[in-house]
Amino acid sequence: MWANVYNSGTAALTVDNTSFFLVDFYLEFADKLGRSFVGYSTDIIKVKRDKEGNVTSAKLTTLGGEVTNGTTDGESVLLGGQVRKGVSIAEEKLPFDPNP
């Protein structure tokens, strides 16, 4: 399982109340096998809201990204593009404890 080691906490640019851009978003990921990658991306988060304005779901899509450093085995160099996608999920359905 990959774990987020660090993220830049880049502020989202608000387009409207359903679209948010993360520009030049920096992330580091690593796993227990020594694999890791560092990169930047520009992402959009699209949210759906109910009639009261509460978020009912969210989807993250990478518009463009690059891996500036990384490894697949702890020794070799990993460089190139990256694409991240994600959707909202209920906390109780996660396969791990998000608040250890």
Range of the domain at 41: 3-90
Structure confidence at residue 1 as a pLDDT band (50, 70, 90): very low
DSSP string, 44-72: EEEEEE-TTS-EEEEEEEEEEEEEEEEES
Mean pLDDT of 2-18: 69
| Residue at 95 is within a domain | no
pLDDT digits (tens, 9 = 90+) for 41-96: 888 989 999 999 888 899 999 999 999 888 888 788 888 888 888 888 887 887 77
Report the domain count for the chain: 1
In degrees and rounded to multiples of 5, residue 50 shows phi and psi of -85, -175
71 to 31, 33, 60, 82: CA distances (angstroms):
11, 10, 25, 14
Task: Give the pLDDT score at 34.
Answer: 80
Asked if the structure places residue 33 within a domain, the reply is yes
33 phi and psi angles, rounded to 5 deg: -90, 0
**Rounded Cα–Cα distance for residues 53 and 65 (Å):** 31
